[in-house]
A and B are shown apart, each in its own frame.
Chain A
Amino acid sequence: MSESQVIKPAAIRKSFTVRAPREKAWDVFTAGFGRWWPKTHYIGDSPLTDAVVEPRQGGRWYGVHEDGAERPWGQVLVWDPPGRLVLDWQISHEWGYRADLHTDVEVIFTAVGDAETQIDFEHRGLEAFGDSEGAVRTRTAMDGGWGTILESFKAEAGG
């Protein structure tokens, strides 16, 4: 075993059920993307007015801004309605687009009866962030990060 091997961070996984049929869940996630995407998270200085996932494989997903610009976030890798969506997340940890950064966001929609949908979410390939030049710098900038995590853990644990 090589001593210099990169420790791969575990993928982020979230599974939950929403009270909506599968087609609606898919529709809100994709066509309605701009209705729920947090407006606090965008690239650049101009506030976000909309967020779009183009409805096709090879399409883009991007933010639309007050200054009229569209800023790319990545590519639609898999468009398979209403069951599976894979987006290439090309946003760095400094919230900038990087053409050479590739991490996968996969969302699987599974019907649970007629009225509910299970969402299986995964953001994987996070080790790609380690290749980006800013990673170490960010670590310094985020010096308080672990303290914050521990604080939120304590709050979470009812401490």
Chain B
Amino acid sequence: MTNARAFAALADPTRRAVFERLAQGPRAVSELAQGLPVSRPAVSQHLKVLKEAGLVSDRADGARRVYQIDPAGLGQIRAWLDRFWDVALEAFTAEVERDDPWESDKP
């Protein structure tokens, strides 16, 4: 079990490149498209996927739209919780499947 949705969103190399650029600071679509071998509409599409995965958010800045890694840090908190629950639920699974007398108590 992993942060499947975020990982899936980052599986695409271009999308990962877009995301890594945002990690350096907020950018507009046009700035993100510069230096990437894809069209601006394609970058917008990648941003849409990243946004749906909870990795980035966007805001209006005059006529343009600026994208950034979630300003409240919710993405990080979510990722942290997601990893925590993976560990906890794996521990639960191990405990519940451990051989113990519970089963033999039953008739």
Contacts and interface: CB of A to CB of B under 8 A. Distances in A.
Interface of A: 3-4, 6-7, 9-10, 12, 14, 16, 18-20, 24-25, 27-29, 32, 35-38, 41, 93, 119, 121, 123, 126-127, 129-130, 135-136, 138-139, 142, 145-147, 149-150, 152-153, 156-157
A37 B92 CA distance: 7
5 contacts: A7-B51, A16-B93, A28-B95, A41-B88, A157-B11
Q: Which 4 residue pairs spanning A and B have beta carbons closest together?
A: A139-B73, A130-B72, A36-B95, A7-B57
Contact of A139 (B5, B76, B87, B92): B76
B88 A37 contact: yes
B74 A7 contact: yes
B96 A3 contact: no
Contacts of A139: 71-73, 76
Contacts, number: 126
Interface string B55-77: 00101100000000111111111
Nearest to B72: A130
Nearest to B11: A157
B104 to A, nearest CB: 12
Interface residues of B, number: 47
A149 B6 contact: yes
B74 to A, nearest CB: 5
B95 A16 contact: no
Nearest to A27: B102
Contact of A36 (B79, B86, B88, B102): B88
